[in-house]
């Protein structure tokens, strides 16, 4: 009997989600499985909003940002009755396997659904934050770094022209992977990360020590600080105001925001998304369920869904030490 596979994208969108959908659809066609896509994340699952997918529907899709299935967060899905309704909808369509592309919130939703649905559940890590434990990188992360670096480079041009201080806020939610690597790749002067943040006072003191030293050695040069979002207690504008008073120089805040989610995925994200999507389809019909498929050291790995969020994913120690040595000052 032909297997039926469903796929949905949930939570924040990430460049490469479309590439992953494409890989799933093409691999399903090769295996003679039928495939459908639920629209708007778990909302589509609740309201039986879906579309049939085939090779024609994913043509010319690999380079497109966003997600053709649309995405959303679904507070409603947290209820027991709602999860039961979703399970009934899957049974009505005779879905054998549900593949969920998203982050830890999406994986929590999958575990919640598994209490009421007996089908196969597979998760694929799609988030620019790279905060999923058990996989080296997540779909969308490399593109988000590239977008942040390109933006910081442009900020540097005007910073150099005016010998001005800029404060650039990047995304990452509660994780500093994007901030750390964007700062290192753009030669930022200072970076403030959630994993290493201790206090406002220590951070301001460290910035002032480094900036004073730079000005003594080089004069009034440009200075770029990268800050992870939602980290500074009163926000990025408050930090800019405090630094303006301390430095007696104009400090300009720049919030990159959702521009980091958009754009055509870079080759690393296209390749990762394609590999993970195709591998997920290879597991359809097996007794493997309730897992995320990630990649470590270039090889696919299968991680129980709860393990993806139960422990905080650590920053790479070598990257941390490299940034610290180049900044000549320990950072927040």
pLDDT score recorded for residue 236 = 92
Q: Is the pLDDT of residue 330 over 60?
A: no
Same domain, residue pair 299 and 283: yes
Same domain, residue pair 127 and 8: yes
How is residue 178 annotated by DSSP? H
Confidence band (pLDDT; 50, 70, 90) for 331? very low
pLDDT score recorded for residue 273 = 98
b/e for 277-289, b at 16 or more Cβ within 10 A? bbbbbebbeeeeb
Q: Which domain holds residue 203?
A: 144-261
pLDDT score recorded for residue 328 = 58
pTM of the model: 0.93
CB 307 within 8 A of CB 139: no
Q: Is the pLDDT of residue 220 over 80?
A: no
CB 295 within 8 A of CB 302: no
Q: Is the pLDDT of residue 327 over 80?
A: no
The CATH number of whichever domain residue 77 belongs to comes to 3.40.50.450
Confidence band (pLDDT; 50, 70, 90) for 110? very high
Confirm whether 32 is a catalytic residue: no
Residue 270 lies in a domain: yes
Same domain, residue pair 123 and 45: yes
Number of domains in the chain: 2
> Which of 111, 126, 66, 119 is closest to 92 using CA atoms?
119
Residue 315 lies in a domain: no
**Dihedrals φ, ψ of 121, to 5°?**
-120, 125
Residue 98 lies in a domain: yes
Q: Mean pLDDT, to the nearest integer, of 205-233? A: 87
Same domain, residue pair 90 and 31: yes
Q: Which two tokens stand for residue 304?
A: 């129980």
The model's pLDDT over 86-101, given as tens digits with 9 standing for 90+, comes to 999 999 999 999 999 9
- Mean pLDDT for all residues in the chain: 92
Q: Is the pLDDT of residue 329 over 70?
A: no
Same domain, residue pair 57 and 162: no
Same domain, residue pair 275 and 218: no
Q: What percent of the chain has pLDDT over 90?
A: 78
Q: Mean pLDDT, to the nearest integer, of 175-193? A: 94
pLDDT score recorded for residue 215 = 82
Confidence band (pLDDT; 50, 70, 90) for 248? confident
Of 96, 104, 129, 136, the catalytic one is 129
Q: Is the pLDDT of residue 23 over 50?
A: yes
Same domain, residue pair 12 and 124: yes
How is residue 294 annotated by DSSP? E
CA angle (94 as vertex; 114, 81 as ends), nearest 5: 40
* Concatenated DSSP letters of 76-135: GGGSHHHHHHHHHHHHHTT--EEEEEE-HHHHHHHHHHHTT--SEEEEEEB-TT---TTS
Confidence band (pLDDT; 50, 70, 90) for 170? very high
List, edge to edge, every strand of the sheet that includes 291-296: 50-53, 34-38, 4-9, 97-102, 120-125, 291-296, 299-304
List, edge to edge, every strand of the sheet that includes 190-192: 190-192, 223-228, 165-170, 251-255
Beta-carbon contacts of 263 under 8 Å, excluding residues fewer than 6 positions away, are: 15, 65, 143, 147
Q: Which residue has the tokens 């990047």?
A: 170
Residue 316 lies in a domain: no
């Amino acid at each position: 009997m032909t297997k039926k596979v469903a796929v949905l994208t949930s939570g924040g969108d990430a460049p490469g989600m479309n590439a992953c959908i494409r890989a799933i659809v093409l691999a399903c066609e090769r295996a003679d499985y039928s495939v459908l896509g639920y629209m708007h994340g778990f909302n589509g699952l609740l309201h039986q909003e879906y579309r049939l997918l085939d090779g024609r529907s994913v043509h010319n899709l690999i380079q497109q940002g966003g997600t053709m299935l649309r995405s959303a967060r679904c507070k409603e899905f947290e209820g027991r009755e709602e999860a039961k309704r979703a399970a009934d909808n899957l049974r009505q369509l005779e879905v054998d396997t549900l593949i969920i592309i998203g982050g830890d919130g999406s994986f929590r939703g999958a575990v919640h659904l598994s209490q009421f649905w007996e089908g196969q559940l597979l998760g694929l890590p799609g988030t620019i934050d790279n905060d999923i434990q058990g996989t080296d990188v997540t779909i969308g992360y490399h593109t988000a770094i590239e977008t942040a670096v390109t933006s910081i480079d442009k900020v540097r041009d005007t910073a150099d022209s005016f010998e001005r201080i800029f404060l650039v806020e990047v995304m990452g939610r509660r994780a500093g992977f994007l901030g750390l690597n964007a700062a290192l790749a753009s030669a930022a002067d200072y970076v403030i990360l959630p994993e290493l943040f201790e206090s406002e006072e220590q951070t301001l003191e460290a910035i002032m020590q480094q900036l004073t030293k730079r000005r003594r050695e080089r004069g009034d040069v440009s200075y770029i600080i990268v800050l992870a979002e939602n980290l500074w207690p009163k926000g990025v504008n408050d930090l800019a105001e405090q630094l303006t008073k301390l430095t007696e120089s104009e400090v300009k805040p720049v919030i990159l925001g959702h521009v980091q989610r958009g754009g055509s995925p870079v080759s690393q994200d296209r390749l990762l998304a394609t590999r993970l999507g195709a591998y997920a389809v290879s597991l359809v019909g097996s007794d493997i369920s309730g897992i995320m498929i990630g990649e470590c050291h270039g090889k696919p790995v299968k991680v129980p869904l709860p393990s993806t969020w139960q422990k905080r994913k650590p920053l790479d120690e070598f990257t941390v030490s490299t940034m610290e040595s180049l900044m000549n000052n320990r950072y927040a």
